Amino acid sequence: MSIFSDNEYIRLVKTILDNRFPVSSPKAYVHTYGCQGNLADSERMKGMLAELGYEFTDDINESDLILFNTCSVREHAEDRVFGNVGNLKRLKSEKPDLIIILCGCMMQQEHIALKIKKSYPYVSIVFGTYHMQRLPEFVYRALSKRERVFEITDTHEAEIVEGLPVFRDTSYKGWLPVMYGCNNFCSYCVVPLVRGRERSRDPEDVINEAKRLISEGAKDITLLGQNVNSYGNNSAFDITFPDLLRKINALDGDFIIRFMTSHPKDCTPELLKAMAESEKCAKHLHLPFQSGSNRILKAMNRKYTREHYLELVSIARELMPELSITSDVIVGFPGEQYEDFLQTLDLVERVKFSSLFTFIYSKREGTAAAKLQDPVSREEKGKWFKELLDLQESISVDIRRSMVGKTYRVLAESRVKEDSSLITGRTEGNVNIDFKADESKIGRFVNVKVTLAENLNLKGELI
């Protein structure tokens, strides 16, 4: 572990920026693709940018620095980044001093970083997932020497850097990373290749950050890791994830705790018990199953069976009857047949997820699955996908209808775009309800009675 403090580049960058922007602060536009882990990283990069003297803007055209924190989990995510970077060419030609930064998971892949180097000469700084803490140095090099910076080396002994400043967009919601990396090597997944091996944060650092979040007004804290259940493994700390959950639950304050993601192979009855017994822990479990077919689960290297998954669901529901379960699923893994897909539909039918994140398989360079034959056409996979969406929609609608007449504690989050008299809030089970209320309720827990279910939308009233 190393600690970020008194970074000499902060002072150097500040001096340059004070000269270049004597009247008003320079503006930075930060956009994050991908998962909550990336959002948490962006909050730290924004923290560093704020210390350098940048203010943040939502208008890319008025920015002096643009940072895209990228995701490589599916091809679609990568295409969006390339499209958006392509669009910056014009802006850079109008503003030669504009600093364009690409970082995160996509950049950790050599073939992508090389493509950026060659074909996007107006990108100023490229760095991968191991060098975020060096952002002030990179900005200094780009500003002072106008040099292009490329830093994508895989340090292998990736360290955890503590003490980075954090800039949060909302005070009532907090992302709290507990571990980084992944050791699971699911055969379709690029994450272990771009994020490196699992490493857990010191529990003291996690708990101190939780305390800080609570004192700054966080009401909804999500503990983050690609597989939170392996928290503490291979570390110097004698602590498990259920222990950590209980410790955070014991902190003073009015807040709820969520966590993601839990891998079914390591989701133990002990974790479910800790959840059930921790009154601040949201009764919501995100437990990705990926496929309902044992044959495909094996090919995915997921290391559990559908029977094990269903058993976990039944233990969890016995301990927490009100539990809401959500999941991730992939359609069209190489070699998947319609019979396998029917097993996925069957599992969805049995579990009754309150919502489901559905993906069509995307081939990722460097993964084991990329070498497999993939004979089913995109069109056929699209048909299966539609079948799955229809089934899940009918289940989600039924669940929402069953909520009418009941009262839920929700965290009021934001104004509804289409009707500004409404605020949208989220239940512990991660379901949104819209209700009439004024701005002052945002960021607070309120009780809302559900009055109407229109397809997937719930309306309610404050009580």
Binding site for ligand F3S (CB under 6 A): 34-35, 37-38, 71-73, 105, 190-191, 194-195
Q: Would you say 109 or 124 has its CB closer to ligand F3S? A: 109
The C-alpha atoms of residue 244 and residue 242 are separated, in whole angstroms, by: 5
| Residue 87 to residues 33, 82, 90, 359, 441, Cα–Cα distance (Å) | 16, 9, 7, 27, 39
361 binds, among ligand F3S, ligand SAH, ligand SF4, none (CB under 5 to 8 A by kind): ligand SAH
Assess 227 for contact with ligand SF4 (CB under 6 A). Answer: yes
Q: Looking at beta carbons, which residue is closest to ligand F3S?
A: 34
Distance of CA 97 to the CA centre of its chain: 32
Assess 178 for contact with ligand SF4 (CB under 6 A). Answer: no
Assess 191 for contact with ligand SF4 (CB under 6 A). Answer: yes
192 binds, among ligand SF4, ligand F3S, ligand SAH, none (CB under 5 to 8 A by kind): ligand SF4
Q: Would you say 34 or 136 has its CB closer to ligand SF4? A: 34
Least separation, in Å, of the C-beta of 72 and ligand F3S? 5
Among residues 49, 67, 139, 189, which is the contact residue for ligand SF4, using CB under 6 A? 189
The C-alpha atoms of residue 167 and residue 164 are separated, in whole angstroms, by: 10
The C-alpha atoms of residue 424 and residue 458 are separated, in whole angstroms, by: 10
Stretch that binds ligand SF4, among 147-155, 178-186, 267-275, 453-461 (CB under 6 A): 178-186
Among residues 74, 141, 219, 263, which is the contact residue for ligand SF4, using CB under 6 A? 263
Least separation, in Å, of the C-beta of 71 and ligand F3S? 3
Report the number of secondary-structure helices (H) and strands (E) in the chain.
14, 21
Among residues 17, 330, 410, 450, which is the contact residue for ligand SAH, using CB under 6 A? 330
Number of residues located near ligand SF4, criterion CB under 6 A: 10
Q: Would you say 71 or 411 has its CB closer to ligand F3S? A: 71
* Residue (of 140, 147, 148) closest to 16 by Cα position: 140
The partner residues of 462 in beta bridges, in order of sequence, read 448
Q: Would you say 181 or 429 has its CB closer to ligand SAH? A: 181
Assess 294 for contact with ligand SAH (CB under 6 A). Answer: no
289 binds, among ligand F3S, ligand SF4, ligand SAH, none (CB under 5 to 8 A by kind): none
The C-alpha atoms of residue 39 and residue 434 are separated, in whole angstroms, by: 25
330 binds, among ligand F3S, ligand SF4, ligand SAH, none (CB under 5 to 8 A by kind): ligand SAH
Distance of CA 378 to the CA centre of its chain: 27
The C-alpha atoms of residue 309 and residue 121 are separated, in whole angstroms, by: 48
Least separation, in Å, of the C-beta of 191 and ligand SF4? 4
Assess 291 for contact with ligand SF4 (CB under 6 A). Answer: no
Q: Would you say 102 or 193 has its CB closer to ligand SF4? A: 193
| Residue 199 to residues 131, 194, 235, 407, Cα–Cα distance (Å) | 16, 14, 7, 41
The C-alpha atoms of residue 424 and residue 432 are separated, in whole angstroms, by: 6
Task: Write the single-letter amino acid at 57.
Answer: T
277 binds, among ligand F3S, ligand SAH, ligand SF4, none (CB under 5 to 8 A by kind): none
| Residue 1 to residues 208, 235, 317, Cα–Cα distance (Å) | 16, 12, 39
- The answer to whether the beta carbons of residues 403 and 431 sit under 8 Å apart is yes
The C-alpha atoms of residue 430 and residue 282 are separated, in whole angstroms, by: 9
Assess 290 for contact with ligand SAH (CB under 6 A). Answer: yes
Least separation, in Å, of the C-beta of 461 and ligand SF4? 40
Least separation, in Å, of the C-beta of 186 and ligand F3S? 12
Q: Which residue has the tokens 């090597």?
A: 185
